[in-house]
Structure 1
Amino acid sequence: MRMLRWLTFTVVAGLSLTAWGKQPNILFIVAEDLSPRIGTYGDEIAKTPNIDALAEQGIRFTNVYAAAGVCAPNRSALISGMYPISMGTHQMRTSQLPLPNGKTGYEAVTPAQMKAFPELLRRAGYETVNFAKKDYQFGTPSTLWDKDIGNYFSPLKADLWNELSGGKPFFAMINLMSTHEGHLLTEDGKAAEKFKGFTDLIKKDLARVQAVTDPASVTVPPYYPDTPVVRRSIAQHYDNIHYMDSQVGEILAALKRDGLNDNTIVVWTTDHGDALPRAKRSVYDTGLHIPLIVRFPDRRGAGTQNDRLISMVDFAPTFLSFAGAPLPDFLQGTGIFSGEQREYIFAARDRMDMVPDKVRAVRDLRFKYIRNDMPELPYFRPLVFRDMFPVMIAWWEGLNKQSLNPAQQFYFEAPRPGDELYDTDNDPWETRNLADDPSQRARLSRMKKALKNWEVQVHDKSTEPETSMVGAMWPGFEQPVTASPQFKLTECNRQVCVAITSSSDNASVAWRMAAGEPWQLYTQPVPVQPNSYIEAKAVRYGYQESNVEQYHHD
């Protein structure tokens, strides 16, 4: 294995724009709610021929971890290259917090210097397009994507890149919803009234998923009650994975059909760990550990395995490196093919819907330390959306019938341990807490210190109450409005040009020459002709977008 790690590094080390002669296209496929339940990762139950074939042509990464075990906080880390606790995007969700003025929800005002990597790719000469999910928690600034299409229930757009005008390299992000927790709802399952519209649509989706998994064959984690209901739900998750794999096959076939294999880097991953309870929303490996496969156009490193530690915050600098774009100072991750290797990954769990919590975690290649900052509260408390699904229903029923064993009942008990320490090599389910083991005292102290240093280093915004944080971002708990763009005539390349600025701190600006045309990201003064006009708008992440302003050049 050491040879494989060395080989992967040497064939990819030094990767830069000059490796391709021009900027490559980048296809980024992100599945929902999925740990490495994939054939190429050694899972004998999973039926994933398309992803397995992609791994044979690419590099398979084995130690990749989310920054949070749930979508919105982690997707903010993915798109920014910063930890959620650094930006105020760590609660799940920002849109659900009741505010003192009677309104509900906020969008985090991120550090002014932060720009999401799709916007930075546009600045570097790319066209960008997104399909379906976003969920960034600081709004969806219009400067990120040239095109943004689809939603949770939209039919797959396998050749998404064809939505773009062409003429530039593309970055296409396709989010596959078929393994989302919602798809574990059974046809006869009853949903809470507030989610009924959502779940009715989910039930229509179930007809597309083929039953290919025998419930008797699945492994039931020791903390679940081993019942037919639980087994069927785990089997359903595998069936959803099989369907998602067919979607990956459809996307890759479209890429090949369009003649793009030879100039497109393909990246496939998931947005956090499994859709099942005690995985999703947790900082255990079942919630954080994700698969990652990277295929290069020339197949460098094909069929190799890389075991380096990778965090979700490492994706943004990786994509920028692929494009030959500068790496801004605000990035808290490092490119996955850089020579710099991390010693730890870090993760956090905070409010889930309206259920408060605060948990922090640090992991090296073998050991995981978890700190519970609200140990007086049990891990599991009623959570409406999660509690609609079969495994959680069976778990609550087991608790009510007093039929759970100690390992299964642990998550309903209070107080929780303040400290948890796990040897993931010998205890992959993380059920044997070593925090009180005298032989682990030095390791526990070292990992506590590493976690504390990280919180200081990234300027942890969770040290103050959420409402106070929001009040500082949104004075009077009203969303600030980005200052309207200002126009100024200037000269560029011996032409008359218009410079466009906004007085809001580091606001991004979009412009176009006529109403109805696509918005362009403003990067430099725009040449203008007599009797023409420019429209522009500005957005500071977390603020309302400005009004559209016009400049007419006589």
Structure 2
Amino acid sequence: MTDPQPNIVLIHCHDLGRYLGCYDYDVDTPAIESLADSGALFTEHYGTAPQCSPSRGSLMTGRYPHVNGLVGLAHGAWELDDGERILPHYLQDAGYETHMFGLQHITQDTDRLRYDRIHSEGNLYPGVSPVVHESNRARTVASVVSEWLESGAFDTPFFASVGFFELHRSQEADGRFGFDPDRYEKHDPDRIRPLPYLPDRRGIRTDLAEMHGMVTAIDDGVGEIVATLEDTGLDEETLVVFTTEHGIAFPRAKGSCYDAGLEVALILRYPGLADGGETYDELTSNVDVLPTLLELVGIDRPDAIDGRSFLSVLTDDEYTEREQVFAEMTWHDVYNPVRAIRTDQYKYIRSFWYLPKVYLTADVFASEAGREVREKYGAPGRPYEELYDLQETPQEDENVVHEPRYQDVRCDLSRRLKDWMVETNDPLLDGPVVPDDFDVIQRWPHEQE
């Protein structure tokens, strides 16, 4: 019998996508695979944005980025709108004690999140560089969490947000962005399986081999936390959620609304609810996680929430499946306004500016993988409309938007996407979204005298 208010441990990492053994990638992740084998794994779970802060904001608010205001990076002058409520706020109202370990990336001011206790050292605050996140490595954070669990220095039920820095790239002395090969176990590039949506080139293999070391660290961190829950007997009354915010930091993944950029791992384990190694292929979005957790602990879904609970999928009750998920991008290190809709079979992407064929975020652009393809992807320009038949071309490399046999699909998805934008009051419908520091751009030195 499940507890009506279980403890909740939400483990989230950077830039992982679904790059795990349990999602059929060629990487050894035994701890996470064990978690999936004793829990529930979602194979068609997607983020609302192929970038960090906006997608994380959706996870924590249950609302789309352009709805909650976080349409760019939290360390880049973007913030959640005043009055936005996040998961720990709802849980506090229900009597939960809330704790934060490791990183968060949804606000420049960590105190604004109002956790009961913050256990992290590397936190974002006004004037602090996001490089501070690098102190929140998986093994280090997991050790802190484990010591806390063993100490029993908490009241139950508790909510713990556990954020790992990995798989985010780090900038090296020469300006290259890599995966800290001197810090992690090295893997052989020649033994790496190439990514199906990129050419098989040496720089891409080298980056993937480096990244495998970081994946191993994430797996170790998850394994330590789960083992401590079991050793302390807390596992029977604790829901463990493991997820990330968007795809891996490679071209055509992070920063793009192709599946490789939006795909997100989601694994849950809770005895009596998600404990049999089930696999679910229903379309879900990370805006759905918050309302699912709220329903689980007995909190009514607020009207302002965009997501919908999928708890009934786990309980085998009647569930109306999603017909589509939506995704977006507005600002990252540059302006990249895109909106997308994905169904079981099709993906329709609409771009709202003059953009390169494939946008490369700054860390991907300056990586070994980025150097292999950036001349090709920098030009020609991207079409305003893209339509992909995911059954025919799952790598989204054949745009069929102008093919006669797809015109009914094109119009249907175009209509659905615009309807969603209208219903959610998307600012892109009124024209370009100016940067959050636009007032600085408009200042004239001679007028400040």
Report the TM range for the smaller structure's normalisation. Answer: 0.7 to 0.9
2:145 alignment counterpart:
158
Write out per-residue CA displacement over residues 3-30 of structure 1, whole angstroms, 9 at most, x where no aligned residue: xxxxxxxxxxxxxxxx534411111111
Change (3 A) 1:60 1:385: closer
Structure 2 residue runs without a partner (length 5+): 123-132, 313-318, 444-449
Say which SS state the counterpart of residue 228 (structure 2) adopts: helix
Match of 1:88 in 2: 69
Q: Is the 8 A contact 2:251 2:360 kept in 1?
A: no
User: Does the 8 A contact of 2:12 with 2:242 survive in 1?
Assistant: yes
Per the TM alignment, residue 38 of structure 1 is displaced from its structure 2 partner at its CA by 1.5
Q: Matches of 2:298 and 2:267 in 1, distance apart? A: 20
Give the equivalent residue in structure 2 for 1:74: 55
Q: Which residue of structure 1 aligns with residue 193 of structure 2?
A: 218
- Counterpart amino acid of residue 457 in structure 1: E
Name 1:426's counterpart in structure 2. Answer: 392
Of 303, 311, 314, 1:337 maps to 311
TM alignment of 1:9-24, pairs within 5 A: 20-24=2-6
Matched residues in 2 for 1:344 and 1:311: separation? 9
1:227 equivalent among 198, 201, 213: 201
Distance 1:381 1:117 in 2: 31
Matches of 2:435 and 2:382 in 1, distance apart? 27
Who is 1:508 aligned against? none
Cα separation, 1, equivalents of 2:151 and 2:58: 26
User: Which residue is equivalent to 1:175?
Assistant: 163
Counterpart of 1:239?
A: 213
- Contact 1:161 / 1:172 at 8 angstroms: preserved in 2? no
TM, length-normalised to structure 1: 0.70
Query: What is the CA–CA distance in structure 2 between the aligned matches of 1:222 and 1:143, rounded to whole Å?
Result: 38
Cα distance in structure 1, aligned partners of 2:80 and 2:192: 44
- Secondary structure of 2:145 counterpart: coil
Distance 1:306 1:384, change over 3 A: closer
Q: Is the 8 A contact 1:116 1:144 kept in 2?
A: no
Instruction: Rate the CA distance shift 1:468–1:306 in 2: closer, same or farther, 3 A.
Output: closer
Residues 466-545 of structure 1 mapped to structure 2, 5 A cutoff? 466-467=433-434
1:316-395 maps to which residues of 2 (within 5 A)?
A: 316-338=290-312, 339-353=319-333, 355-374=334-353, 376-380=354-358, 384-395=362-373
Task: Give me the whole-angstrom Cα distance separating, in 2, the residues matched to 1:320 and 1:163.
Answer: 27
| Partner in structure 2 of residue 440 of structure 1 | 406
1:94, CA displacement in angstroms?
5.2
Cα distance in 2 for partners of 1:470, 1:162 equals 45
- Distance change (3 Å), C-alpha of 1:455 and 1:395: same
Q: Pick one of 118, 129, 136 that aligns with 2:99.
A: 129
Query: Shift of residue 380 of structure 1?
Result: 4.8
Q: 1:351 to 1:414 in 2, by over 3 A?
A: farther
**Counterpart residue number, 1:109:** 81
Structure-2 separation of matches of 1:109 and 1:387: 30
Distance of 2:228 and 2:236 partners within structure 1: 13
Aligned length: 417
Partner-residue secondary structure (3-state), 2:166 = coil
Q: Distance in 2 between matches of 1:287 and 1:417?
A: 18
Q: Which residue of 1 aligns with 2:8?
A: 26
RMSD between aligned residues = 2.7
What TM-score does the superposition give when structure 2 sets the normalisation length? 0.85
Aligned partners of 2:348 and 2:152: how far apart in 1?
A: 45
**Deviation, structure 1 residue 303:** 1.5
One-letter amino acid of the counterpart of residue 51, structure 2: V
Distance in 1 between the 2:189 and 2:89 partners?
A: 45
- How far off is 1:220 after superposition? 3.6
The correspondence for 1:267, drawn from 227, 241, 248, is 241
Residues 1:468 and 1:289: Cα distance change in structure 2 (over 3 Å): closer
Q: Structure 2 CA distance, aligned partners of 1:371 and 1:58?
A: 37
Q: Return the match for 2:257 from 270, 279, 283.
A: 283
Question: Residue 87 of structure 1 contacts residue 461 of structure 1 at CA under 8 Å; is this kept in 2?
Answer: no
Q: Distance in 2 between matches of 1:165 and 1:20?
A: 23
1:76-119: CA deviation from partner (whole Å, max 9, x where unpaired): 1111010001122112x2543xxxxxxxx353424x4x411111
Quote the Cα distance in structure 1 between the aligned partners of 2:335 and 2:436. Answer: 15
Residues 279/468 of structure 1: CA separation in 2 closer, same or farther (3 Å cut): closer
Partner of 2:224: 250
- Deviation at residue 252 of structure 1 after TM alignment: 0.8
One-letter amino acid matched to 1:438: P
How far off is 1:218 after superposition?
Answer: 1.5
Q: Matched residue of 1:349: which SS? A: strand
Are residues 392 and 363 of structure 1, via their aligned partners in 2, closer, same or farther at CA, if it must alter by over 3 Å?
same
1:135 CA drift (Å): 1.6
Distance (whole Å) between structure 2 residues aligned to residue 163 and residue 465 of structure 1: 52
CA distance, structure 1, for counterparts of residue 80 and residue 155 of structure 2:
35
CA distance in 1, matches of 2:347, 2:359: 24
Change (3 A) 1:219 1:468: closer
Aligned match for 1:311, one of 264, 282, 285: 285
What corresponds to 1:47 in structure 2?
28
Equivalent-residue separation in structure 1 for 2:378 and 2:416 (angstroms): 29
Instruction: For residues 133-172 of structure 1, give each alpha carbon's deviation from its aligned partner in whole angstroms, at most 9, with x where no partner exists.
Output: 2121474454531112223214222325568842320111
> Any idea what the Cα deviations from partners look like across 1:196-215, whole Å, max 9, x if unmatched?
xxx9xx74xx4442124543
1:217-253 CA-partner distances (Å, limit 9, x unpaired)? 32144544x3222211112222321221111111111
1:37 corresponds to 2:45: no
Once residues 435 and 3 of structure 2 are traced to their aligned partners in structure 1, the CA distance between those partners, rounded to angstroms, is 50
Query: How far is the alpha carbon of 1:294 from its aligned partner?
Result: 0.9
CA change 1:286–1:372 in 2 (3 A) is same
Deviation by residue 1:466-515 (Cα, 9 ceiling, x = unmatched): 4487789x9x99xxxxxxxxxxxxxxxxxxxxxxxxxxxxxxxxxxxxxx
Counterpart-to-counterpart distance in 2, 1:383 and 1:301 = 38
Distance 2:395 2:149 in 1: 40
Distance 1:240 1:133 in 2: 16
1:457 matched to which residue of 2?
A: 423
- Would the alpha carbon gap of residues 317 and 209 (structure 1) be closer, same or farther in structure 2, given more than 3 Å must change? same
Percent identity between the two aligned chains:
30
Distance 1:143 1:235 in 2: 36
Question: How far is the alpha carbon of 1:59 from its aligned partner?
Answer: 0.9
Structure 1: gaps (5+ residues): 1-18, 97-104, 400-408, 478-554
Provide the secondary structure at the position in 1 that maps to 2:98: strand
Q: Distance in 2 between matches of 1:69 and 1:231?
A: 22
Specify the structure having the higher radius of gyration (Cα).
1
Please say if residues 268 and 293 of structure 1, whose CA atoms lie closer than 8 Å, have aligned partners that are also in contact: yes
Task: Give the partner amino acid of 1:217.
Answer: I
